[in-house]
Amino acid sequence: MLIFVYNHNTLQTERYNLNLTDPMPYVINGSLTVREFRGSSRAGMVYTDMRAMQTWNRFRNFWGRAIPVGYVFKRIWEGGHGLQSQHYAGGSFDVAQGMPATVRNEMRTSAIRFGGWSYVEPAYLTPTWVHFDWRLFPPACSTGGYITVRRGSRGVYVMILQDALNALGFNTNGLDGIFGDGTHNAMVRYQQANRLAADGICGCQTWRSVCARAVGIGLTPTVVLP
């Protein structure tokens, strides 16, 4: 498996080749394997942010017990989640499937008390599992979702955009989490083709448009693979 991890300290996207049984990069004591992170995704490449892995470590220590993980990641063209799901950023954890309801409720309460997660989903939305995620703020749309990205931006949200544009046939010249000329030019071409302001900035309206077209589109000939 190819794993990309955005390191906010170096501002670089790190690349790892690991087995499914190996722990994810930066994970302590093997508490989250590549297989658990990938979950039901069948993509040969996944990505995440180092801060998401570090937050997992801190919560795992706070909880003090093993946490069964259903899945974390999906590539946007695989779909299976909402239009601007944090699963596509590799920072959204669905856990505790199969555990007793009392334990799930305890874990959900602990996740709130922990204070390190950006969002903990209420029980009525996740009745048979626990959902929490790490994300960046502020979102481009007032209703939530992804941050605005533009030329010079770096990180997992740029990777989501690149992955989506490539799947839709707008070549970004790679999938590296760096919003350079290739991504800017692809962004402008997409905006022009979809009657959006062609400013090369992925803000609220462009995110809504890109995600509506890319989520669940499937493996197209232009998807960037390992």
* DSSP H/E element including 40: none
- Give pLDDT, residue 117: 98
Q: Which two tokens stand for residue 186?
A: 């692809």
Q: Residues 125, 150: contact at Cβ < 8 Å?
A: no
Q: Residues 186, 172: contact at Cβ < 8 Å?
A: yes
- Give pLDDT, residue 106: 98
What's the rounded mean pLDDT across residues 17-25?
98
Q: Residues 150, 200: contact at Cβ < 8 Å?
A: yes
Instruction: Report residue 155: phi and psi, to 5°.
Output: 125, -170
Rounded Cα–Cα distance for residues 150 and 206 (Å): 11
- Give how far Cα 39 sits from Cα of 9, 44, 62, 196, 222, Å: 28, 12, 23, 35, 24
**138: cis peptide before it, omega within 30°?**
yes
Using the predicted structure, report yes or no on whether residue 15 has a pLDDT greater than 90: yes
Write out pLDDT tens, residues 152-161.
Answer: 999 999 999 9
Give me the percent of the chain exceeding a pLDDT of 70: 100
Q: How many C-beta atoms surround the C-beta of residue 59 within 10 A?
A: 22
Write out pLDDT tens, residues 167-198.
Answer: 999 999 999 999 999 999 999 999 999 999 99
Give me the percent of the chain exceeding a pLDDT of 90: 100
Alpha carbon dihedral 67, 69, 70, 75, in 10-degree steps, equals: 150
Fold category of 2-133 in CATH: Muramoyl-pentapeptide Carboxypeptidase; domain 2 (3.30.1380)
Query: In the chain, where are the structural domains located?
Result: 2-133
Using the predicted structure, report yes or no on whether residue 213 has a pLDDT greater than 90: yes
Using the predicted structure, report yes or no on whether residue 226 has a pLDDT greater than 90: no
Rounded Cα–Cα distance for residues 155 and 179 (Å): 9
Write out pLDDT tens, residues 93-126.
Answer: 999 999 999 999 999 999 999 999 999 999 999 9
Rounded Cα–Cα distance for residues 186 and 54 (Å): 32
